[in-house]
Copies of this chain bind each other. A is one copy, B any other.
Amino acid sequence: MPTQDPHKMAAPFAAAERGVALGPNQLNNRISDLHFCAIQVHVEDFADIRAYFSTTKWNRLCMAEKKRFMQIKENHLVMWSLGLSFVAPAFMRREKPSQGRVCSPEETDSEEVQLWTSGLTAGHGSSTADRRRTAAPKGGGVCRQSDKEVPNMSHLLKKRKLDKNVQENLYFDSYSDVTIHEEMIADHVRTNTYRTAILRSSDSIRGRVVLDVGAGTGVLSMFCVQAGAKKVYAVEACSIAEQAVKIVKQNQMDDRIEVIRGTVETIDLPVEGVDVIVSEWMGYALLHESMLNSVLYARDKWLKPGGLMLPSKAELYISPINDLVVEDRLNFWCTVKDQYGIDMSPMSEFAKKCIMNNDIAINLVTVEDVLSHPSRLAELDLHTVTPEQVASVRGTFSCECFGSAAVNALCVWFTVSFPGDDKPLVLSTSPFKPETHWKQAVLYLDSPRDVMQDTKVVGEIHMYPSEESARHICIHVECAIGEHKKQSKTFSIPDGYSDAQQ
């Protein structure tokens, strides 16, 4: 069943859907022939549109570029493009027109637009504008330059994604120890959400005893002291515990924090119970090499009745995606002939086998690649979930595609929530949100399928530990796209991807 995202993950879409219509010739992912276009979107809640742009590559353009491409006029958002390529997020690629209008730059009274149109021949400009009048993307869009002077931003960002994709491996090579912790602390979404959650729970923490499971450098323990904890037991099995001791001392918190070297399963605490358990236990795809079982062990052994779990809930989400990086990589082999006079196209098939294999790929998925609203797969209540339940997490999903695209993968991500008086605080690893070091888990399908607006992508997911190693997660997928017959595939994370805290 499709699930409404409880954290307003999809909020920008709501506003976008009140925007302009999209014609049938706007169905391609890459609209490279767009020479001249402006779209005007009526937005009642401009904050939503802003929220969308703040999470996308739009945000990586400098303000001067933004001013060229976007203008806010009361409750209208005007965007335009001139000799630029234009990639609309999938949610804007709809076949069926609805309310709203597309306007050419001439129709606006924007000074900026006049500046931009002045260099055009009238014929070219207006004819293209006319064509776009029924063909502009729905809701807004991300504009970027693709001429030779300005590198194709999409390519750069995709490249960057590829580069970042392998960053984890570094942590277990030469730079091992410190780089893991550097990445975790530098992950502002992670560190700041935990800090905010802890500080805002200070009523439950002040004067109480806290257990930090897998404390690492001890940063969460120190946040708990900042929130007024009487005592924090920082349990850490790895040698990083030695650094935690030094840092705690440096911060003059050694009277409040006791660093205990060992696993929660083997150490003992000098108290009968604790009031709060805090832990950053999440691994790739939530459960890969995670410490959740250790956290549940600690909960069942030490957490007092009515005690607080931070975080208290975890949720898994899924969406079909079109992974453009993979499409580019497969296509690379067909470009060699132009460069060197050698036809290397036979490599494409080999490349597909190598890249779209049974590995769970840990990639940054950009929101433009996501083809539907998220569907919630599963929810774990960390106060009550059992190790047996964690060992076999099942979920169903049903997504309706935004518009025409080729589904070549499924994207899985998670959120964890911290309780709050009014509403929970959410640490999200969604592709619609700012990136985290967890990125997203990408599952490549053996048989990519073309979809249209409202095509259903439905299926089931089963997550369970691999037979070789209980810490390694496997994901089995059954998936049916539109009228195509169901496909199934089992994925696992390749060696070398270890959780940051193990």
**Could you tell me which A residues sit within 8 Å of B by CB distance?**
60, 62-64, 145, 149-151, 160, 163-167, 169-170, 173-179, 181-182, 185-186, 188, 191-192, 195, 217, 219, 222-223, 226, 243, 246-247, 250-251, 329, 332-333, 336, 339-347, 350-351, 354-355, 357, 359, 361, 494-497
A174 adjacent to B361 (CB under 8 Å) = yes
Considering only CB atoms, which chain B residue lies closest to A148 in the complex? B63
Contacts of A497 in B (CB 8 A): 173
Secondary structure class of chain A's binding surface, majority of residues: helix
Report yes or no: B195 in contact with A243, Cβ–Cβ below 8 A.
Answer: no
User: How many copies make up the complex?
Assistant: 2
Write the chain B residue with the least CB distance to A218.
B342
- Can you list 8 pairs linking A and B with CB atoms under 8 Å apart? A62-B150, A174-B355, A174-B361, A182-B329, A186-B332, A219-B344, A226-B342, A250-B343
Q: Give the docked Cα–Cα distance between A138 and B354 (Å).
A: 50
Q: Tell me if A173 and B169 are in contact (CB < 8 A).
A: yes
Q: Which of B170, B329, B344 contacts A247 (CB 8 A)?
A: B344
Interface centre among A342, A343, A345, A354 (most CB of B within 10 A): A342
Interfacial chain B residues near A169, Cβ < 8 Å: 166, 169-170, 173, 496
Judging by beta carbons under 8 Å apart, are B351 and A182 in contact?
yes
Most chain B Cβ neighbours within 10 Å, of A164, A179, A344: A344
Which of B178, B179, B339, B350 contacts A243 (CB under 8 A)?
B350
Known contacts A163-B163, A246-B346; is-contact A174 B359 (Cβ 8 Å):
yes
Report the minimal beta-carbon distance from A461 to chain B, rounded to whole angstroms.
Answer: 20
- Look across to chain B and name the residue whose beta carbon is closest to the beta carbon of A169: B169
**Is B149 touching A63 in the complex (CB atoms < 8 A)?**
yes
Tell me whether A341 and B247 are in contact (CB under 8 A): no
Q: How far is the CA of A186 from the CA of B339 in the complex (A)?
A: 10
A178: contacting residue among B173, B246, B342, B347, CB under 8 A: B347
Instruction: Specify which chain B residues have a CB less than 8 angstroms from the CB of A63 in the assembled complex.
Output: 149-150
Query: How far apart are the CA atoms of A354 and B188 in the complex, in Å?
Result: 23
Tell me the minimal C-beta distance from A283 to chain B in angstroms: 17
Shortest distance in angstroms between A427's beta carbon and chain B's nearest beta carbon? 15
Residues B340 and A191 in contact, CB atoms below 8 Å apart: yes
Please indicate the chain B residues that have their CB under 8 angstroms from the CB of A185 in the complex: 336, 344
Known A-B contacts A174-B361, A342-B219; A62 and B149 likewise in contact (beta carbons under 8 Å): yes
